Chain A
Amino acid sequence: KAGVTQTPRYLIKTRGQQVTLSCSPISGHRSVSWYQQTPGQGLQFLFEYFSETQRNKGNFPGRFSGRQFSNSRSEMNVSTLELGDSALYLCASSLSLAGEGEQYFGPGTRLTVT
């Protein structure tokens, strides 16, 4: 069974631009969660989608948004990029809601904002 895949793996953007990251969950998983990982703040929960509905959201500004498609693939969008958005963005999928059981993580997308 294929694991969680994230594209692209690396991305360099300029301040003020926007970016879209993609996540393909494990087949059969209906939940996709997104996390931001930085050396200073550690791992922070962005949001979770389950069956195309946002089920939970962390404390991030509205510049961070996401969506999930009917095939469970998910995208995350960050608008008006800031230097502080440079981070590793991880996606995780699970059969049930993220807080209820095991999550399977992708390798992440490394975003650098210059």
Chain B
Amino acid sequence: AQSVTQLDSHVSVSEGTPVLLRCNYSSSYSPSLFWYVQHPNKGLQLLLKYTSAATLVKGINGFEAEFKKSETSFHLTKPSAHMSDAAEYFCVVSASGAGSYQLTFGKGTKLSVIP
């Protein structure tokens, strides 16, 4: 069994300040991890993915995430928030085993950016 917990349902930051969106996971197998972003009335877009290569993953729009196996975490960060970052963010874990795979989405974190 696997699960994903996004620790904050809502995060609010001021424009120009750092962003931290937290994600913890559990998985019986070696997982792949993803962060997706969903802007209002739009589909999801991939920000970045971890697939057992480098533990620090750089994505689009200045976002990055670090895979920490010992802490079972995959937190998303950005040094300086921009108004256009206001959206909902989803952490996703995928793990395969016994001939199939499981794909699990977190509940999402809504990011607000204050001008």
Residues of A within 8 A of B (CB): 4, 33, 35, 42-45, 55-56, 90, 92, 97-108
Contact = CB atoms under 8 A, between A and B. Distances in A.
B65 to A, nearest CB: 15
For chain B, the bracket of interface size reads 20 to 34
Contacts of B32: 99-100
A99 B102 contact: yes
Contacts, number: 53
Interface stretch (B11-19, B42-50, B73-81): B42-50
A35 B36 CA distance: 14
B84 interface: no
Contact of A45 (B43, B46, B105, B107): B105
Given A92-B44, A102-B46, A103-B46, 14 more contacts: A42-B108, A43-B105, A43-B108, A45-B104, A55-B100, A56-B100, A98-B94, A99-B103, A100-B32, A101-B49, A103-B44, A105-B36, A105-B45, A106-B43
B45 A45 contact: no
Interface in B94-112: 94-96, 100-108
17 contacts: A42-B106, A42-B108, A55-B100, A56-B101, A92-B43, A98-B94, A98-B103, A99-B101, A99-B102, A100-B101, A102-B34, A102-B49, A104-B46, A105-B36, A106-B43, A107-B41, A107-B43
- Which 7 pairs of residues, A with B, have the shortest CB-CB distance? A105-B43, A99-B94, A99-B101, A43-B105, A105-B44, A42-B107, A102-B46
